[in-house]
Structure 1
Amino acid sequence: MRKIEAEPLSVLRTRTSYKWQTYPADVLPLFVAEMDYPLAEPVQQAIIGRVLASDTGYVAGPEPVADAFAGYARRTWDWQVDPGDVRTTTDVSVAIVECLRQTVPVDGSVVITPPVYPPFFELPLEADASVVEVPLLLTGTGWQLDLPALERAFARGADALLLCNPHNPLGLVHSAETLGALADLSAKYGVAVISDEIHAPLAYDPRSFTPYLSVSDAAREYGICVSAASKAWNIAGTKCAVMVASSERTRLQLDSMPEEVSARTSILGLHASVAAYDDGGPWLTAVLNSLAENRELLAELLSAYLPEIVYRPPLAGYLAWLDFRGVGWGGDPAAVALEQGRVALESGLKFGRQGTGFVRLNFACSPEVLTEAVTRLAAVRAAPSDL
């Protein structure tokens, strides 16, 4: 089973990205969603090739990445995407804002489902809309969308839902049945669904993931998919995202966007994304093998050193949502982890009120770094303190 080895800390600390420039060298950064693995060679070569050709101008259009994304969707999820229905922009956050501008009236409202990716609280505001929170339900079998509460929000006049599919920070993969029921509600109340599927290629079982637009005619009528190769292939800085429509209504919405929305796509990101979708599969499989081992290693480490922490291994992605409430570190355990353990985690408070007492941990690192991080946290728990 091929795996990808994370680069050593001595190399990682020469990177100039946010992950490696935010904290001093004595801090282990396991917060922001960047991976510690070297880039896939096809992606590297695509970027280098464009630079060597001095091909760093404006994008001519979405066609290359539209074809590549459609091919990847067909091979991976049996989702039939018409490349003509694909548009591009700079990143998924911009895609969300621009889609909301087309689907939500000024002073309209957008539903989000916390605990959820922190920008979801802000992106509707950028589109001149308000935010309506409908928290996820935690049941005995795990997290899930609260469909009755979503229907109540739709009935009260919500204009759109931001769907996180798979759901960050939980690594939750919504079932086809749940998505189908959501699509029925969307059609019943005329509510747009913007489905952020950036983590979809990181599902540990690709067959478990259901693209929202594939579930039904109702989903296609009111839904728009936004995605990118950036999370799975670790190329966020190259700036290219896709938007997919599958109905006359949503095609018109995408085509009504200003030309500048597409023009902001990076030509380097476009070619990097083409290489990822077309030729990056073997690399991604090896990365998922490494992540799967780290996912289990984290469970073992927590059981051995911090058994009070509740951890449900994610079904997609490399982000662990950890319940520290049994440890007694207060509402923001990430602050304690950083100050006393020199481990940078993402504060659960950023993900909504439901994140009080939680942290998000990025385990896309070497097993040695992950082990060191947990042992540092355990040492804080064991040491006398004023907590």
Structure 2
Amino acid sequence: MLTANYDTLTLEHLTGVVGKKWTTFPDCIGAFIAEMDFGTAPSVIQALRETVDNGFFGYLPDALEQGLAAACADWYRHNTDWEVPADRVHSMPDVLKGLEITLTHYAPKGGTVIVPTPAYMPFLFVPKMHDREIVQVPMLQDNGRWEYDLDAIDAAFAAGGEVLVVCNPFNPIGRVMTRDEMLAISEVVDRHGGRVFSDEIHAPIIYAEHRHVPYASISEVAAGHTITAMAASKAWNLAGLKCAQMVLSNDADVAIWESDGAWSAHGASTLGVIASIAAFNTGQEWLQGVIDYLDGNRRFLAGAVSDLLPGVSYTMPEGTYLAWLDFRETGLDGDISTFFREKARVAIVDGSACGEVGQRCVRFNFALPRPLLEQAVQQMSSAIKAV
């Protein structure tokens, strides 16, 4: 396993890096945008360095496209036991492009998009850009555990829903869904002839007691109504290189892709494909070291919230490096993220951007060096005490 002392990364070092996370609010600890501060795998850097040294920045050749498909399919096979034919894996610039393609090519009725909330923020506005109505379906909580509201999803489909967005692992609450949970969802979707867009971008970041199960792998029924989106970008810190994968899981969707879908996905960058191939094929050892560090961070955050943020609710995520912090019992009101940015110098995502259910909550990215994670919580605690 590759290990690194991420504790030594300082605020001065991170703010000197040209990146959105640390330049958008340069006077704040950056815990808002979903990327990590830990670089990427050495094998990824080597692959990119060789490409730069060769001066190759041209159009994406077929051989690299095929290499990416094989690498993604192999990753799924080795890590989830899902046997994905490589010829059903296709490149695209990012996961949101996958949602757009799903709406324009695989859900042609123009029906409503059902979004469980709290949700990844763009899921609440990208469908509107394609003239789709959105129905927010708040997740249920049972003793701190988030669960899908199957009755509400069923009602939303009955009222004209066409596409259900499934995010697994779930950004921003960190749930990793079980096979039984997804089977129950698939029965509802199938009953109404609906479609599922399955965002699995965080799938490589799963903590030891859990396992990622691809939604389309659970049954032939699920495979028949699912478009899966995947990328190496979150786990290996490659978001700026613009490369993701769309995975098709039934013959009908393959036929649509071959007739008029492929050009819609055009735009994955050559460097992004090269980096993603290296990540999937040779980056797992590095990633495991990062996951171990993140595991320590999520546990540290649990203790820090308990000690320093009384009244705040936090359930340790099962996957991702995102925490959902509920401040509704603290007396804070209004725009919580602005309060912490101005009073605590900590930049986070206001929960209201994740849906109506997110009022007085925040999404907190804990993929920070642990000393800065501790500093962020301490500054948030001091800001609350000063109110």
TM-score (norm: length of structure 1): 0.95
What is the match of residue 44 of structure 1?
45
1:69 Cα deviation from its structure 2 partner: 0.6
SS at match of 1:159: strand
CA 1:95–1:4 in structure 2 vs 1: closer, same or farther (change >3 Å)? farther
Deviations 1:249-274 (A, max 9, x none): 22123334454434311010001000
- The one-letter code of the counterpart of 1:299 is A
SS at match of 2:161: coil
Alpha-carbon distance in 2 for matches of 1:17, 1:52: 23
What is the match of residue 99 of structure 2?
96
**Farther-moved stretch of structure 1 (121-130 vs 39-48):** 121-130
1:3 Cα deviation from its structure 2 partner: 3.8
What is the match of residue 168 of structure 1?
171
CA 1:256–1:159 in structure 2 vs 1: closer, same or farther (change >3 Å)? farther
- The one-letter code of the counterpart of 1:189 is H
Q: Given the alignment, which residue of 14, 17, 42 partners 1:15? A: 17
CA 1:253–1:130 in structure 2 vs 1: closer, same or farther (change >3 Å)? farther
Q: Within 5 Å, give how 1:291-306 maps onto structure 2.
A: 291-306=294-309
What is the match of residue 356 of structure 2?
353
What is the match of residue 311 of structure 2?
308
What is the match of residue 60 of structure 1?
61
Q: Within 5 Å, give how 1:135-214 maps onto structure 2.
A: 135-205=138-208, 208-214=211-217
Deviations 1:160-185 (A, max 9, x none): 11111111100011110111121122
- The one-letter code of the counterpart of 1:273 is S
Alpha-carbon distance in 2 for matches of 1:262, 1:100: 13
CA contact (8 A) 2:302 2:314 kept: yes
1:187 Cα deviation from its structure 2 partner: 2.0
Q: Within 5 Å, give how 1:1-387 maps onto structure 2.
A: 3-6=3-6, 7-24=9-26, 26-61=27-62, 62-105=65-108, 107-205=110-208, 208-383=211-386, 385=387
Deviations 1:82-120 (A, max 9, x none): 001111110111111112111223642111111100000
CA contact (8 A) 1:346 1:361 kept: yes
Alpha-carbon distance in 2 for matches of 1:321, 1:257: 39
CA contact (8 A) 1:116 1:351 kept: yes
- The one-letter code of the counterpart of 2:181 is T
SS at match of 2:138: coil
1:42 Cα deviation from its structure 2 partner: 0.7
Deviations 1:45-89 (A, max 9, x none): 111111111221111243111100111111111111100111111
Alpha-carbon distance in 2 for matches of 1:229, 1:206: 22
CA contact (8 A) 2:97 2:265 kept: no
CA contact (8 A) 1:198 1:226 kept: yes
- The one-letter code of the counterpart of 2:18 is T
CA contact (8 A) 1:341 1:377 kept: yes
Alpha-carbon distance in 2 for matches of 1:154, 1:252: 26
- The one-letter code of the counterpart of 1:28 is I
1:2 Cα deviation from its structure 2 partner: 5.5
**Farther-moved stretch of structure 1 (256-265 vs 181-190):** 256-265
CA contact (8 A) 1:203 1:317 kept: yes
CA contact (8 A) 2:164 2:194 kept: yes
Alpha-carbon distance in 2 for matches of 1:273, 1:379: 41
Q: Gaps spanning 5+ residues in structure 2: where? A: none
- After superposition, the CA RMSD in angstroms is 1.6
CA contact (8 A) 2:176 2:210 kept: no
TM-score (norm: length of structure 2): 0.95
CA contact (8 A) 1:337 1:377 kept: yes
Alpha-carbon distance in 1 for matches of 2:162, 2:259: 18
SS at match of 2:127: helix
Alpha-carbon distance in 1 for matches of 2:370, 2:144: 28
- The one-letter code of the counterpart of 1:175 is T
Alpha-carbon distance in 1 for matches of 2:5, 2:34: 17
CA 1:369–1:4 in structure 2 vs 1: closer, same or farther (change >3 Å)? same
Alpha-carbon distance in 2 for matches of 1:215, 1:258: 25
SS at match of 1:200: coil
CA 1:249–1:350 in structure 2 vs 1: closer, same or farther (change >3 Å)? same
CA contact (8 A) 1:193 1:222 kept: yes
Alpha-carbon distance in 1 for matches of 2:209, 2:68: 21
- The one-letter code of the counterpart of 1:27 is C
Deviations 1:331-373 (A, max 9, x none): 3221111111111111111001111010111111111101111
1:128 Cα deviation from its structure 2 partner: 2.7
